[in-house]
Amino acid sequence: MVPEWSWRYGFEPFAEYGDVFMTVSPVNCHIYIADREVITQITTRRDDFPKPAWMYRTVNMFGRNVVTTEGSEWKFHRKVTSPSFGEKNNALVFGETIRQGKMMLTKWTGEDGNGGITITDVLEDTMRLSLHVISGAGFGVSLQWPGMTEDGDLIRPLSNESTHRHTLSFKDALAGLLHNLLVVLVFPRWFLANAPFQWARKAAEASLEYQTYMNELFVEKRNEAIAGEKADGMDIMGALVKNSYGPETRLEEKKKPTTNNGDVERQALTDSEILGNAFVFLLAGHETSAGSLHYVLILLALHLDSQRRMQQDIDRIFGDRPVEEWDYNKDITAMQTSMIAAVMHEELRVVPPVINIPKQVSDESDQIVMYQGKQTIWPKGAVISLSALALQRNPKYWPSTGPSKVTEENNDLADFVPERWFVKNNVNGMQQREDVGIDGSAGKDASRLFHPMKGSYIPFSDGPRSCLGKRFAQVEIMILLAMIFKNYSVELAVDEVADDEAVEKMNEKERIALYEQQRATARSVMKNCSEIGITVRIKNGYVPIRLVPRGKERFIHLFKF
């Protein structure tokens, strides 16, 4: 099997061999899982099925963190870091996404907002936007897009105490580190700095500059916390520092509980652990949100009917209110039970950020796992892949709206169909909770969207070790979708086949044929994906799109929905 087989074949191998199967080689045993009950056992028995330590060891380069630790140490990290992702931070994400989204829209539609610009670097721009949102909501440092300026008060020195002469801006240090991430994780900085290759020296420079900036930022936030100053926002790093250095923490020092052997139980992260967790939040949140935003725009350009339905919900929720009047506390509930949320969840179902989530059987002993009502013994040290993409196309757990409109399959589970999230309860025996929404929200509107059975939907993993930044990413994606499609539609760009003048001269039938041709090309490009870095990306090529003011579309109005 080639490395891309999971993307290329989807659920097919599981349909042939079963929802759990093992490949055996002289090197190891590898178990692939697309069964929700088995996945639930794996994710809840975290000591029996830990993350592969060798795979994450290098991520400790800036400090131990919630991703790389296990056992009681992980419990401590999770307990301390979880509050940083609360509702106050979500509101900050909401506002920062609006600020950054406005700048991205200016780049995509021009200063006059008339659009007509063919966008070929969609992923590059969504990566920039995601990086900027994390910088603002994660570190409290607001960044600008090239050629755009705003209120200078939003930009402030990272530390008044620093004497370091920086060679890169904070933004370039972040971007440079992420761009050279694999190199930086594998090779020590001294080696890269002295290598005879410019790319290696640039990687070392970005790594050093990032670490220096983060140290400065830490000092600034520590001083604010010790002084009891109230920060303007509840950014993630600020919350972590406040937990360790704020007045409340210092007061609690006298009341720390002790363990049975008399040791003091830790209440706060060390300095290096704060920096280590800041790094993994940057790493985990950057590529996943950016990739999802990239794919959802292409999928909506392919599925124009779903795009129109989402725009109707956006109009219903926001009406004529300008984006400056949108409010997290007032608008988020309506968004998360609307077509906006359905589009987001469907993209994450069809293109999960990580196709195979890695686990392993504990090295200590074999483990017993229940599968189809029987006990099975899994050998110690075996590699495990929670096959998210196949699981989320398993007909046992997901409602099909009919035969595929794209392939010859008798179901549409490999297709992008956001409307499936509005199916009634108990479809094909699929039970769902009435009182809890897909994002964990509760209330009378929570059950409006289809709620998958536990363990069958894992774009952010599942169980106690599921992604801390899940809500962060969801808010970012939903608000950006609302911003873009409030005033614009997205269409596939056809420049490589016909220029604007040629399109204007075409009749309706010719335009439809042209768009269908471009659809086929886009689908062909998207088939050629693989896991690059930590997420799935288009391997070669790109899918160009255009943002067009609503009412001035060249193609959408030609299709009957």
Instruction: Give the C-alpha separation, 348 to 350, whole Å.
Output: 6
CA distances from 250 to 76, 247, 255 (A): 18, 5, 10
Instruction: Give the C-alpha separation, 19 to 30, whole Å.
Output: 14
What three-state secondary structure class fits 372? coil
Q: Is 529 annotated as a binding residue?
A: no
Torsion of CA 44, 48, 49, 52, to 10 degrees: 140
Cβ–Cβ contacts within 10 Å for residue 243, how many? 19
Paired sense of beta strands 118-119 and 356-360, if any: unpaired
CA distances from 26 to 29, 337, 437 (A): 8, 49, 45
Q: Letter for the amino acid at 483?
A: M
Tokens of 258: 């002790």
Cβ–Cβ contacts within 10 Å for residue 127, how many? 21
Instruction: Give the C-alpha separation, 35 to 390, whole Å.
Output: 9
Q: Which residues of 487-524 are buried (b: 16+ CB within 10 A; e: fewer)?
A: bbbbbbbbeeebeeeebeeeeeeebeebbeebbebbee
List residues forming the annotated binding site: 467
List residues forming the annotated binding site for heme: 467
